[in-house]
């Protein structure tokens, strides 16, 4: 076994996903304690160029038509053969729709240990965040190659980017036939009225707003601030706002100047989409809400009680 830390680079429709940079940054932390290198594992088809800005010491690249876009079987076979061949110290996956489909299966297939929901790595310790961000768990690498799935929140994407393209080593994918999973195509989301990922000011609402009527108040506030409203998943699931307004894991990733979180508890799935905001102001009734761990300013209050005096003062201002 070598001491290198591998990172399964995720990309979608020709673009590297942010989680890949985050993992590279985390892998750097881990590699420092193991004394190995950071290696990006890139699977694709005519996608070598995607490796250009990866902050890795090296990138292993496999090219195959079946690897053009993600489909679990082809990825599994390729990554499994790579691990078996090269036995890295650890390999990081995103705890995402791509990485999570691969990591657990590999754990069972190769009898390797798996640590999931890791948010930060320091001094060789893997810190996982569970229970909606309310519990932290610390573990160490197993004696064999350890599989890790990562969630955003502990690293900035910039830390995983580099101006100098890494060295690329191509490797052959194994025979990719008898695939049981195939991609039929993508369905683009309905384009919303606004692109929240480009907004500078966002007023975000979560489960804590309780009733649909309160959305109007949030909208009014957003208007004052020259921004727009977005939401966490429960609000969209209720059908109160369109999918185009969803922030988080299956929604948009946003990086506004101001993210005003109303009644959002701050579950990791949501935080993933907004942790990169310049300033986060959170209003929540639950003093233990994890959102207060990442917010710049926190207010323990019922939003509904606060909104009226706030709107009044805004009117005066």
Contacts with another protein in 6-35 (CB under 8 A)? 12-13, 17
The pattern of x and - marking residues 69 through 108 that bind another protein according to CB under 8 A reads x-xxx---------------------xxx--xx-xxx-xx
Min dist. Cβ of residue 179 to another protein (A): 9
Q: Which of residues 178-217 bind another protein (CB under 8 A)?
A: 180-190, 197, 201, 211-213
| Interface stretch with another protein, choices 21-29, 37-45, 53-61, 138-146 (CB under 8 A) | 138-146
Min dist. Cβ of residue 28 to another protein (A): 20
Q: Is residue 270 a contact residue for another protein (CB under 8 A)?
A: no
- The encoded tokens of residue 172 equal 């052959």
Min dist. Cβ of residue 181 to another protein (A): 5
- The encoded tokens of residue 227 equal 């921004």
- Alpha carbons 73 and 10: distance in angstroms, whole number: 15
H or E segment to which residue 63 belongs? strand 58-63
Phi and psi angles of residue 61, each rounded to the nearest 5 degrees, phi first: -125, 125
Q: Check: CB of residue 265 under 8 Å from CB of residue 207.
A: yes
The length of the chain, given as a count of residues: 317
Residue pointed to by tokens 């876009």: 69
CB atoms within 10 A of CB 69: 17
| Nearest alpha carbon to residue 252 among 271, 272, 273, 270 | 273
The pattern of x and - marking residues 223 through 252 that bind another protein according to CB under 8 A reads -xxxx---------xxx---xx-x--xxxx
- Alpha carbons 305 and 317: distance in angstroms, whole number: 19
The pattern of x and - marking residues 156 through 175 that bind another protein according to CB under 8 A reads --------------------
| Interface stretch with another protein, choices 23-31, 44-52, 82-90, 273-281 (CB under 8 A) | 273-281
**Binding-site residue total for another protein (CB under 8 A)?**
106
């Amino acid at each position: 076994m070598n001491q290198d830390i591998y990172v399964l680079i995720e990309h979608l429709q020709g673009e590297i996903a942010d989680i890949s940079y985050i993992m590279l940054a985390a892998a750097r932390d881990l590699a420092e304690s193991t004394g190995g290198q950071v290696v990006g594992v890139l699977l694709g088809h005519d996608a070598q160029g995607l490796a250009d800005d990866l902050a890795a010491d090296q990138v292993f690249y496999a090219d195959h038509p079946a690897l053009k876009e993600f489909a679990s079987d082809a990825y599994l076979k390729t990554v499994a053969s790579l691990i078996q061949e090269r036995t890295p110290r650890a390999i990081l996956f995103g705890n995402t729709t791509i990485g999570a489909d691969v990591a657990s299966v590999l754990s069972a297939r190769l009898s390797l240990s798996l640590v999931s929901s890791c948010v930060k790595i320091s001094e060789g310790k893997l810190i996982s965040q569970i229970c909606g961000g309310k519990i932290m768990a610390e573990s160490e690498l197993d004696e064999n190659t350890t599989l890790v799935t990562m969630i955003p929140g502990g690293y900035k994407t910039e830390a995983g980017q580099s101006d100098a393209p890494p060295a690329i080593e191509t490797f052959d994918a194994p025979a990719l036939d008898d695939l049981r999973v195939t991609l039929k195509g993508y369905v683009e989301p309905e384009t919303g009225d606004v692109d929240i990922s480009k907004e500078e000011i966002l007023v975000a609402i979560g489960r804590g707003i309780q009733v649909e009527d309160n959305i109007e108040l949030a909208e009014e506030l957003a208007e004052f601030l020259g921004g727009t409203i977005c939401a966490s998943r429960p609000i969209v699931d209720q059908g109160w706002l369109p999918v185009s307004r969803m922030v988080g894991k299956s929604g948009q990733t946003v990086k506004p100047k101001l993210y005003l979180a109303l009644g959002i508890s701050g579950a990791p799935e949501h935080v993933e989409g907004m942790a990169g905001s310049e300033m986060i102001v959170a209003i929540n009734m639950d003093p233990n809400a994890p959102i207060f761990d990442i917010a710049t300013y926190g207010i323990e209050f019922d939003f509904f009680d606060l909104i009226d005096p706030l709107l009044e003062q805004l009117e005066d201002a």
